[in-house]
Amino acid sequence: MRKLKYKDLLSISDLSEEELTYLLEISKLFKGRYYAGERVINVLGGKSVAMIFQKPSTRTRVSFEVAIHQLGGYALYLNWNDLQLGRGETIADTARVLSRYVDGVVARVLKHSDLVELASHSSIPVINALSDLEHPCQTLADLLTIWEKKGRLEGVKITFIGDGGDNVLNSLLLASAKLGIDISIATPVGYEPKEVILKMAESDARKHGSTIEVIREPEVAVRGADVIYTDVWVSMGQEAERARRIADLSKYKVTVDLIKLAKEDVIFMHCLPAKRGEEVVDDVIDGKWSVVWDQAENRLHTQKAVLALLL
């Protein structure tokens, strides 16, 4: 297996197009071997991974912990506030100490800049397990799922409905642009993707001749869509803005009527957790279009690839 170019995985922009494709191929390999009954593949050889969480998690925590175990490593779940970090020890000092004990860090943080600081003072790989800016590990599972369901990635059209500044969307947008996936984002005024993310994505999309569109009308955005994707309207850390966000995003709900305007064989995706009744109705997330459970499962397989190639 080839190692990745950078020490860390903080952003999809840390990966080249080839590395992104390679990660998906290795994920498929791990998934195949898992289904063939090979539960433990000892690529970590007893290496230890610290998993620091500043916010709650179900999928990321469990899939990483199980992935590390199934790769022959040892995972330590560390709540941010239970570490001395919670009492004010600096991120830099924490990074220096952890680098002496473990072989890698998986971290979910409120501020992306804290992750960058953690990585810059660590001599070991740091993996983004979600920040306010990005969720690259989620994107890898999303891409593997699309690849499995559609048989290809290039030329697929993803429509994202909801908050254009969403962390999950940022990573999906950057990755789509690298792989020639068309992406259409329906979002209200004031919720457009960050200029810096859009610029990076547009530059990659130009190389493939793929398109990125940011529009207002969900009904227009879903035309010709192979994939409809959404995420919560209120992300972790945005609770104080809840009332305003719900009001602004209320027209950006994925309903059965909306999904029927897309391609006949469209699939519905959501990183989860979902706020049922807000960004998506039960009839969609539980309906024939939904691939959300396969998508959640794929976190396990793609994270194995990340761990194997970084550690």
Q: What angle do CA 131, 133, 269 make, to 5 degrees?
A: 85
Our answer to whether residue 238 is catalytic in this structure is: no
Nearest partner of 156 among 222, 221, 225, 219, judged by Cα: 225
Among 232, 266, 281, 305, which residue interacts with ligand NVA (rule: CB under 6 A)? 232
Q: What angle do CA 290, 274, 148 make, to 5 degrees?
A: 35
Which among 108, 112, 245, 301 is annotated as catalytic?
Answer: 108
Our answer to whether residue 69 is catalytic in this structure is: no
110 binds ligand NVA (CB under 6 A): no
295 binds ligand NVA (CB under 6 A): no
| Chain positions contacting ligand CP, by CB under 6 A | 57-60, 130, 138, 271-273
Which among 231, 295, 301, 303 is annotated as catalytic?
Answer: 231
Our answer to whether residue 138 is catalytic in this structure is: yes
Q: What is the nearest approach in angstroms of ligand NVA to the Cβ of residue 163?
A: 8
Cβ neighbours for 145, distance < 8 A, ≥ 6 positions apart: 269, 291, 294, 295, 298
CB 226, CB 266: distance < 8 Å = yes
**What does 58 interact with, of ligand NVA, ligand CP, none (CB < 5 to 8 A by kind)?**
ligand CP
- Within positions 156 to 185, which residues make up the interface with ligand NVA, using CB under 6 A? 166-168
Q: What is the nearest approach in angstroms of ligand CP to the Cβ of residue 274?
A: 10
117 binds ligand NVA (CB under 6 A): no
Q: What is the nearest approach in angstroms of ligand CP to the Cβ of residue 182?
A: 23
Which among 138, 166, 270, 303 is annotated as catalytic?
Answer: 138
Bridge partner list, 160: 185, 229
Q: What angle do CA 117, 123, 126 make, to 5 degrees?
A: 55
Our answer to whether residue 208 is catalytic in this structure is: no
Nearest partner of 258 among 150, 192, 184, 189, judged by Cα: 184
**Which residue type is seen at 63?**
S
62 binds ligand NVA (CB under 6 A): no
Which residue is listed with tokens 């794929």? Answer: 298
SS3 224: coil
Q: What is the nearest approach in angstroms of ligand NVA to the Cβ of residue 169?
A: 8
Which among 135, 245, 270, 301 is annotated as catalytic?
Answer: 135
What backbone torsions phi and psi does residue 184 show, to the nearest 5 degrees?
Answer: -120, 130
* Binding mask of the shown chain, residues 237 to 276, with x at each position contacting ligand NVA by CB under 6 A: ----------------------------------x-----
The smaller minimum CB distance to ligand NVA, of residues 167 and 187, is found at 167
CB atoms within 10 A of CB 212: 19
**What does 232 interact with, of ligand NVA, ligand CP, none (CB < 5 to 8 A by kind)?**
ligand NVA
Instruction: Give me Rg for the CA atoms of the chain.
Output: 19
**Nearest-CB residue for ligand NVA:** 235
Which among 8, 14, 163, 271 is annotated as catalytic?
Answer: 271
CB atoms within 10 A of CB 21: 16
Our answer to whether residue 271 is catalytic in this structure is: yes
142 binds ligand NVA (CB under 6 A): no
First-to-last alpha carbon distance for the chain, in angstroms, is: 11
Our answer to whether residue 8 is catalytic in this structure is: no
